[in-house]
Amino acid sequence: MRYLIPSPGSSALSLGPVTIHYYALCIIAGIATAVWLGRKRYAASGGNPDDVSDAAVWAVPFGIIGGRIYHVISSPQNYFGDGGNPADAFRVWQGGLGIWGAISLGAFGAYLYFRTHQTTLNFLQFLDSLAPGIIIAQAIGRVGNWFNQEVFGKPTNLPWALEIKPSNRPDGYSEFSTFHPTFLYELIWCLIIAFLLIKLPGFLKNTVKNQGDIFALYVTGYTLGRLWIEAIRIDEANYILGFRLNIWVSLLVLSCSILYLFRSQRRATPTKTASES
């Protein structure tokens, strides 16, 4: 049977002494896309798009560090367990960025920028402007997972199954060759949410009432998809009460975003065009 998604031939390109990892290129492309779209949306809201670029200088390194810390904490056995190498925790280009660590610490970095610099719009307006670009960046980043042959799902014989090389199959799955392409499921889900975030606010004027609502809708939409995608992944993870740690984190984040939206409906936010400091 011919499968739709083959294994990539390699995960890096060697140019003499220089090795370029496709995962890193995907992350860079995602960041560039998020900043580009964020600038356009921020400007459309009346802000100076340079605020987005300047804030990104703070947010991106915070986000990469946060994403890596979350990944290492949630999968410590890969680095500090039997056969693990602690030095691998610093090799970000090999894959492994936890989205919730990246978003939370990246947002904190941007918040620090908005607190310490004069900007044309406030922090919540910045988050709303950036939300669709962030989730598109996540979609692009998932292509990097395909190159690394990682974070795939349970074995399957569906026509769109993902072929995985024997060396990349988890323990206990060596006899299976094709798996659910969860990277593709999440990529498609992210693009759907990005489209809705861009198009829906104009049709949901009575729902998107306050600054920060679009970002909260992004978090809500993404976590709803992440829950079922996470449930079919088989990469090594820590479990709590029989469920993967990321499922519990997604449920917590989902609850917080829904609570934020609920409270947003009960308050009126005055228009504000200058950053709080």
pLDDT bracket for residue 10 (50, 70, 90): confident
pTM for the predicted model, two decimal places:
0.87
Q: At 83, which amino acid appears?
A: G
Is the pLDDT at 27 greater than 70, yes or no? yes
DSSP state of 6: P
Tens of pLDDT, residues 176-212: 999 999 999 999 999 999 999 998 765 555 555 688 8
CA distance 31 to 42: 16
CA distance 160 to 5: 6
Q: What is the mean pLDDT of residues 90-117?
A: 86
Structure token pair of residue 99? 């989205």
- Do residues 123 and 47 lie in contact, with contact meaning Cβ atoms separated by under 8 Å? no
- pLDDT of 206 reads 55
CA distance 180 to 160: 8
Q: What is the mean pLDDT of residues 37-46?
A: 95
For residues 211-227, b (16+ Cβ closer than 10 Å) or e, as one string? bbbbbbbbbbbbbbbbe
Neighbours of 19 (CB within 10 A): 12
Is the pLDDT at 275 greater than 50, yes or no? no
- pLDDT of 67 reads 87
Structure token pair of residue 86? 């602690």
Is the pLDDT at 88 greater than 90, yes or no? no
Which is nearest to 115 in space by CA: 131, 126, 101, 102?
126
pLDDT bracket for residue 3 (50, 70, 90): low
Tens of pLDDT, residues 240-267: 888 888 899 999 999 999 999 888 877 7
Phi, psi dihedrals of residue 126, rounded to the nearest 5° = -60, -45
